[in-house]
Chains A and B, each alone.
Chain A
Amino acid sequence: MASLTIKGLTKKYGETAAVENLDLEVKDKEFVVLVGPSGCGKTTTLNGIAGLIEIDEGEIWFGDELVTSPEHGISKIPQKREVAMVFQDYAIYPHMTVFGNIAFPLEIRKVNKHEVEARVKKAAQLLEIEELLNRKPKALSGGQRQRIALGRAMVRNPKIFLLDEPLANLDAKLRVHARVELRKLQQELGVTAIFVTHDQVEAMTIGDRIAVMNDGHLEQMGTPAELYHNPANRFVAGFIGSPPMNMLEGRLEEKNGNLVIDLKLCIYELPKKARDLIKETISSKVILGIRPENIVITKESKRNSFEATVVHIELTGKESNVHLEAGGSSLIAIRSSTQDLRAGDKVWLSFDEEKIHVFDQKSGKALL
């Protein structure tokens, strides 16, 4: 088992950088999720860790062992790195039985037969696929294939587990189940795991910590709660959470010694603490962000509120998404009861003052 440190990783394809100056630290036995839209460089990073691609700059450390450093001419081949990887398509060899697939890494290492059998059996037991061991993978389901791939990764007792969207090919119901199983398995085995996904819900539910990537950069790294409640920038705020955070453009102004945002819909007074936190110059363009569950819908006007029209109400089960329209911008609010609301109603919206976010429009950085 080991920790993983990445310093200044850069990988270019021609002129475009797939990953640029990425720093990442994963603690021993931690489950870290790399999440971001497709093409953000998360799979490139994973392949770099596995040694499947050569990186252009930076260093990768497994514990205190330097495994990759183009500067020092170090690039350990993937065969020699003690990582195990589960691929998105699982890479199950069709010509081998399930047993053969799981035993493959051990046979290559010339582990003796009894030992191989014992370890494969143990893994199969843990994954509940014992009865499949003698079958060919052809007729197996996605969930079963995923377990075989996990089994193959497990038998080697690797230092680091790399998982490249292993749940993407499962159907929605199975995915939720597999998520829990995977998490449990990682804790039982006590391995360090790096999990790549483009699905932020998956990232939120499975990771100890999440690294949000975009355009080859690390946008923010933190626990799910940190990312949700204190996004470092506009990208993270918009990417994490479903339905996404509402964003309203405005201009920062000063009124009676208090900071306000001119939203055009209303002059929104920021809480007192904003005065100390926001150092931006007056009249700079900002974005006010508010999560759907922090929008308060009322029938009468209140302080710091503005009028909106209910466009559509979407029942998602326990709660409902209320789609609203105000002065040309659309917002989504979440409410547990919507009996008093109907499409077309005029309502007043105000925000939970503690939960508002303010971002600089140009840099996207969080100001509040």
Chain B
Amino acid sequence: MKTPKLGRIVLYILLGLFVILSLLPLWSCVVTALKTSKEVILTTPVTPPSHPTLAPLIESLNYLKRPLTNSLVLVGSGIMVSCFFGSILGYVFSKRRFRGSTLLLILVILCLYIPPQVQLIPMVQTMSKMRLHGNLGSLVLLYMLFGIPMCTFIFKTLYDEVPDSFINAAKVDGAGTWTIYRRIMLPLSVIPFVVAALLQITVIWNDYIWGLVLTVGKANLPVTVAMANLRGSFVAEWNLQMAGALWVALPTLIIFMFLGKYIMRGYAGM
């Protein structure tokens, strides 16, 4: 066996420290969620609970039930609509280019870079005119539309990898644009659909600002906004907040654990 070099040892110690540092918030979140209100005040956020209790977790879940469902609805509808349009647009931009299509693609991608802050007021005005302001419908519509540029971009880059000869062969064999999409492109789209869906899930699930601005009343709130309301009116109920944060983070955490590599592909545009 080779004795490890000094440099290696230092590296591992450093890496270990970084791991502890980055896991510390999660740790304190978990331990705080398991404490009673009294113990939260008496102990530091990193000490383990002496009498662990599930009460905060149950209480926060009860409070978050409706918002969790709301967020699921948002994610579900958002994914379906943006992926559908993203896939068709990606196909057109990748395999069915026309005069001006590059310019259009650039415009679509530019939409990704408009900060939400500048859209807040016009969006609230538009939604009120459409009588959607305040209810969940406004968010459903918003996420459906806002997801399309990102999905288009993902589908376009992944469709670029499909050889043009597939398209040409199908054309010569008699297939029209729509048939080629349905028979050739769509069946080859499992990975782009997974990648686009995962990115949309994380974006929609973690979004806070649009939910805060566009929805009113607990029945309409997405989970991130509702979680912020857990902070308590007179005293900071840290244990409830941490328990709520765990519930909110759980779905994305599970997704990242199992499907993280697809999200990496999405960000890398591969």
> Which positions in A face B, CB cutoff 8 Å?
47, 50, 52, 77-79, 81, 83-85, 87-91, 93-96, 104-105, 108-109, 152, 156, 162
- CB of A89 within 8 A of CB of B163, answer yes
Q: Name 26 A/B residue pairs within 8 A (Cβ), A-sorted.
A: A50-B168, A50-B172, A52-B171, A77-B171, A78-B172, A79-B175, A81-B172, A84-B172, A85-B168, A87-B168, A88-B165, A89-B165, A91-B166, A91-B168, A91-B169, A93-B188, A94-B188, A95-B188, A96-B187, A104-B183, A105-B173, A105-B174, A108-B175, A152-B169, A156-B173, A162-B172
B128 on the A face (CB < 8 A): no
Most B C-beta atoms less than 10 A away, residue of A50, A91, A152: A91
B179 on the A face (CB < 8 A): yes
Q: How far is the CA of A79 from the CA of B163 in the complex (A)?
A: 19
Q: Quick one: given A93-B184, A95-B187, A95-B188, are A104 and B166 in contact (CB under 8 Å)?
A: no
CB distance from A276 to the nearest CB of B (A): 51
> Which positions in B face A, CB cutoff 8 Å?
163, 165-166, 168-176, 179, 183-184, 187-188
CB distance from A151 to the nearest CB of B (A): 12
CB distance from A236 to the nearest CB of B (A): 30
- CB of B163 within 8 A of CB of A108, answer no
Partner of A52, one of B172, B184, B187, B188: B172
Q: How far is the CA of A152 from the CA of B163 in the complex (A)?
A: 18
- Point out the residues of chain A lying under 8 angstroms from B171, CB to CB: 52, 77-79
- Point out the residues of chain A lying under 8 angstroms from B176, CB to CB: 79
Closest-by-CB residue of B relative to A155 is B173
- CB of A109 within 8 A of CB of B172, answer no
Closest-by-CB residue of B relative to A89 is B165
Closest-by-CB residue of B relative to A78 is B171
Closest-by-CB residue of A relative to B163 is A89
- CB of A108 within 8 A of CB of B172, answer no
- Point out the residues of chain B lying under 8 angstroms from A85, CB to CB: 168-169, 172
- CB of A104 within 8 A of CB of B172, answer no
Partner of A79, one of B165, B166, B174, B183: B174
* 14 additional A-B residue pairs with CB within 8 Å, beyond A87-B168, A96-B187, A108-B173: A50-B172, A78-B171, A88-B165, A89-B165, A91-B166, A93-B188, A94-B188, A95-B188, A105-B173, A105-B174, A108-B175, A152-B169, A152-B173, A156-B173
Q: How far is the CA of A343 from the CA of B55 in the complex (A)?
A: 96
CB distance from B139 to the nearest CB of A (A): 36
- CB of A91 within 8 A of CB of B174, answer no
Q: How far is the CA of A52 from the CA of B171 in the complex (A)?
A: 8
- Point out the residues of chain B lying under 8 angstroms from A77, CB to CB: 171
- CB of B173 within 8 A of CB of A87, answer no
- CB of A87 within 8 A of CB of B169, answer yes
- CB of B179 within 8 A of CB of A108, answer yes
